[in-house]
């Protein structure tokens, strides 16, 4: 029975990682597009990159954020019961502190997500453009933090040892 549970957890971890990479790409693209002015010349990489309307990412980012959070939550019990005690015995207190911050940041991101989605669904008024860019940057920071800390934790312990 334990072997089957480990295989399911491994599959969930891989799916969680793939969703996280997709979210990372979408939020990074939208953040850069929200902060950079549109470029009239179409012959540069950045001009073509910027030509994608940033609002088109909003629904995908919300769906990917929720999927990544749910997949992470499904793996959380395994982390708390099997991985965290081993990290504590090994004295990886800094890494555990970073992971605790990750948990808090993801929760803050879940709270910010409805406002983010509403701002990107409305037509862009001048005052809402700045708020869109700020909320998108906050979510980008949270997503990058979670992604990097997840990798650090996985690199320290490995998965399924």
SS3 of the chain: the string is: CHHHHHHHHHHHHHHHHHHHHHHHHHHHHHHHHHHCCCCCCCCCHHHHHHCCCHHHHHHHHHHHHHHHHHHHHHHHHHHHHHHHHHHHHHCCHHHHHHHHHHHHHHHHHHHHHHHHHHHHHCCCCHHHHHHHHHHHHHHHHHHHHHHHHHHHHHHHHCCCC
117-140 tens-digit pLDDT:
999 988 767 678 889 999 999 999
44-101 tens-digit pLDDT:
766 666 667 788 899 999 999 999 999 988 887 777 777 788 888 888 888 888 888 9
Q: What is the pLDDT of residue 123?
A: 74
Boundaries of every domain in the chain: 2-157
SS3 of 58-98: the string is: HHHHHHHHHHHHHHHHHHHHHHHHHHHHHHHHHCCHHHHHH
Mean pLDDT of the region 36-49: 68
Q: Which residue has the higher pLDDT, 146 or 159?
A: 146
């Amino acid at each position: 029975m334990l072997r089957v549970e480990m295989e399911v957890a491994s599959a969930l971890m891989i799916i969680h990682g793939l969703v996280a990479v997709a979210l990372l790409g979408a939020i990074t693209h939208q953040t850069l597009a929200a902060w950079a002015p549109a470029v009239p010349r179409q012959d540069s990489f950045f001009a073509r990159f910027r030509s994608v309307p940033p609002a088109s990412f909003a629904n995908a980012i919300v769906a990917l954020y929720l999927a990544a959070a749910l997949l992470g939550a499904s793996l959380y019990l395994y982390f708390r019961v099997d991985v965290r005690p081993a990290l504590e015995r090994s004295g990886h207190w800094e890494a555990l502190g970073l992971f605790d911050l990750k948990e808090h940041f993801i929760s803050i991101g879940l709270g910010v997500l409805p406002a983010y989605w509403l701002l990107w669904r409305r037509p862009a008024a001048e005052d809402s453009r700045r708020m869109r860019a700020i909320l998108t940057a906050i979510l980008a920071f949270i997503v990058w933090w979670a992604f990097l800390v997840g990798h650090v934790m996985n690199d320290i312990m490995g998965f399924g040892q």
